[in-house]
Amino acid sequence: MTTGSPWFRDTNEPEPEPIPADPYGVPSPYREPAPAAYPYPEQAAYPEPQQAQQPYQDPAQTYQQPPQTYGQPPQTYGQPAQTYRGPEPEPVYEAPYAPAYDASAEAPRQDAPTPPYEPYEAPEAPRAPRPSRRRPSDDTAVLEAVEALPGTDTGTGTGSVPGSAAEPLPGPGRAERRRAAKGGSRGKSRRGGPTATPGGATGGTPGGAQPAAPLSRVEARRAARAAKDSVGVIASRAVGELFITFGVVMLLFVTYQLWWTNVLAGQETDRAKEQIEDTWANDDGAGDDSKPGAFEPGEGFAIMYIPKLDVVVPVAEGINKAKVLDKGMVGHYAEGSLKTAMPSDKQGNFAVAGHRNTHGEPFRYINRLQPGDPIVVETRTAYYTYEMASILPQTAPSNVSVIEPVPKGSGFTEPGRFITLTTCTPEFTSTYRMIVWGRLVEERPRSQGKPKALVG
């Protein structure tokens, strides 16, 4: 079968649409369809103009079929041949001018046009900072300020590449690290479990275990009870605080006894000495201090001097601890069975007592006295000078024979005018008594001036 015939039509081609008949002999593209009727009466006065008559065509003439193009429908007789043009091609838009060049090359390529501007120069790659050669020391923990290079991100630390984005470091933030460093209860969550960090770590450790599941109400109560201190811990703390308080009180008491009582006793003895001297200055000499009971308990009546020990202390009547001894004065045994003679008596033992430690401690160093050392007692009328004779380092407090008119253990065998000094021993205790005896060697009226022991 011949396929080149213009009358041949392939079966795969679509059926051409028929051209409608033209009743007026005018091609349809140039004719408007006539209305079916005139909707308005005034339109009938203007009939449709008649079309021009077609010129006469001789039927004897032979009709020549115009050449058909493959793919075009067959033409009907009396219709002019139409040429199939096909679809209009889409317009082609040219791309804008873009000079071709290589950024890595120093000059543009030869086949590219010369741009109207200077060629692009790539920036110089930044250099990594040189490592410090200093030896590690204590100040290496301080961060040094490094000037940021162009195109780098100082937030990524050392070794960042220009143009690269800053990647966040894994692990907890600054607040979490501070809580972990402080420790204690801050490192735990409100439910008693470990604190979970944003990075998935537990307890502030990067890369640790996953955060624990929230505790139930019962588990939370158990954890709270377990976190509380036990009765034993509370009791031990109370006992410890009690011991600390007791130690502080004892320290204050010792300070009061060893230092502050001496300060108070010094003030009391100064006032008592001034009072005694004022009494002597205002006395007309009519009084007699040799009679028993001439002075009230606690009343000062004499002044004792121990030149070797640099002691000057008032002597008061009685040995009452609160009224006499604790005020820093020396007390005269003058009550009941312990009553002894006065310095002015022609015969007897003048016995006195005083503190060795605290409250002025007038007899602290009487153990240093040697035989022949003077002890002077000044009264309203005279100076009585005694010489140290013997010492008894230790005896019982109940041994009252040491203050008898002829004291036992002193070495005196006959009655005379003696002096006895008694104090506590060992130091800072009152377990035993120390005794020092002396013999009268001179009685000098005050009108004749001071004795040689005080003048020298």
3-state secondary structure of 226: helix
pTM > 0.75: yes or no:
no
Bridge partners (DSSP) listed for residue 319: none
The amino acid sitting at 193 is G
Mean pLDDT, residues 406-423 taken together: 94
Highest-pLDDT range among 3-7, 161-165, 173-177, 196-200 = 173-177
Bridge partners (DSSP) listed for residue 298: none
Q: What is the pLDDT of residues 136-169, one digit of tens each?
A: 444 443 444 444 444 444 444 444 444 444 445 5
3-state secondary structure of 28: helix
Domains in the chain and their CATH numbers?
267-455 (2.40.260.10)
Question: Average pLDDT, whole number, for the chain?
Answer: 74
Q: Is 186 exposed, middle or buried (0-12, 13-18, 19+ CB in 10 A)?
A: exposed
CA distance 154 to 445: 103
Q: What is the pLDDT of residues 359-395, one digit of tens each?
A: 899 999 999 999 999 999 999 999 999 999 999 999 9
The amino acid sitting at 221 is R
> How distant is the alpha carbon of residue 303 from its chain centre?
63
Q: Would you state the pLDDT for residue 223? A: 84
CA distance 37 to 420: 171
Task: Indicate if the pLDDT at residue 309 is higher than 90.
Answer: yes
CA distance 456 to 453: 6
Half-sphere exposure of 124 (CA within 13 A, CB side): 4
Task: Indicate if the pLDDT at residue 276 is higher than 70.
Answer: yes
Name the residue with higher pLDDT: 412 or 283. Answer: 412
CA distance 119 to 108: 7
CA distance readout (Å), 307 to 337, 349, 383, 455, 456: 31, 21, 14, 10, 9
Q: What is the pLDDT of residues 432-456, one digit of tens each?
A: 999 999 999 999 999 999 999 998 6
Please state, as a whole number, how many other Cβ atoms lie within 10 Å of the Cβ of residue 240: 10
Bridge partners (DSSP) listed for residue 349: 418
Q: Which long-range contacts (CB under 8 A, 24 or more apart) does 270-275 make?
A: 272/300, 272/314, 272/316, 272/327, 272/329, 273/300, 273/303, 273/312, 273/314, 275/300
Active site residues: 355, 424, 433
